[in-house]
Every structure is written in structure tokens, then in C-alpha cells.
Amino acid sequence: MPYKLLFVCLGNICRSPSAENIMTYLIDQADLSEDIFCDSAGTSSYHIGSSPDRRMNTAATTKLGIKLRGHARQFQKSDFQQFDMILAMDRENYEDILTLDPTGQYHKKVYLICEFCSQHTLKEVPDPYYGGTEGFNQVIDLLVDACEGLLKYITSQQPEA
């Protein structure tokens, strides 16, 4: 059974698909693709079915040489059962996710992705949607840092992985 990660932002076209694709890339590099599965979702329904934002894709291709894959979907309550860890990009998304779990049964599965950063001190991944190129590049740098830390965390927790 692979360990399942879900990355969540607002619209699922910038930050969370970037995190999903960066993490998948790191997992492949570590030869762990049989052990860890990644997906992403948005707390809103704004962009359901859309591909990742082209500006985000350009930043990922330029900085890492990877193309962002996937289509936006909305976070569902069933995701709480399906995934081992749910990683929110910012505090607002984190709170929105927790609101869908009023009993608190799954709260221990929900994290802010920046908790796993070792190089950056930002506590949230800023939404680059209305900004310029630099914002998209910053998101990639932050997410690489967070995903590297997350992979270390998971592999240290999962001795059999």
C-alpha cells in the first residue's frame, strides 16, 4: 500500500499541483514511486478540470526541468480517508480543510507544508496568481525545500519505504 500525500491550495492550479509534481519528481529520483503516491486538490471549485497555470508551469520547467501535469479538482471529505497526509499551502486552506472535519477525527493528518522547510522561514506558500514571474519562481523554490524536507520526514517515519 503506498503512502498517500494530498497537496491542497485554493484553486488547485498553482501551488498544490506544483507541490504534487515536485514531490513526484523527488520520489522518482529517490526510486520510491512504488511507495509514495501524490495528488492535489483545491478548497474552492473555481478551476475544476483546469490544467496547472501556464506561468507556474513555466517556472517549474525553467527552474527544475519538469512539466506540471494534472487537472484541478476540489477537496472532498472522502480525501480524509484516502490520504495519509494532507498538506495545506497556507493557513486559510488549512482552516478550510479542518472545517470539513468538525469532529476532529482527521486533524492529525493535516499539516502546513512549510513546516517541512529547512532553508526558508516563510510559514505559508504565498499565492502567486496575481503577481509577476518572481512570485512563481519563489513558490517553486519554497516547494522544493518543503518537499525535500517532507520526503526526509516520510522516509524517516516509514522504515519499510
Q: Which residues are annotated as catalytic?
A: 9, 15, 127
CB 17 within 8 A of CB 52: yes
Element (H, E) at 88: strand 85-88
CB 16 within 8 A of CB 42: yes
Nearest in space to 26 (alpha carbons), one of 155, 113, 112: 155
Nearest in space to 114 (alpha carbons), one of 139, 146, 152: 146
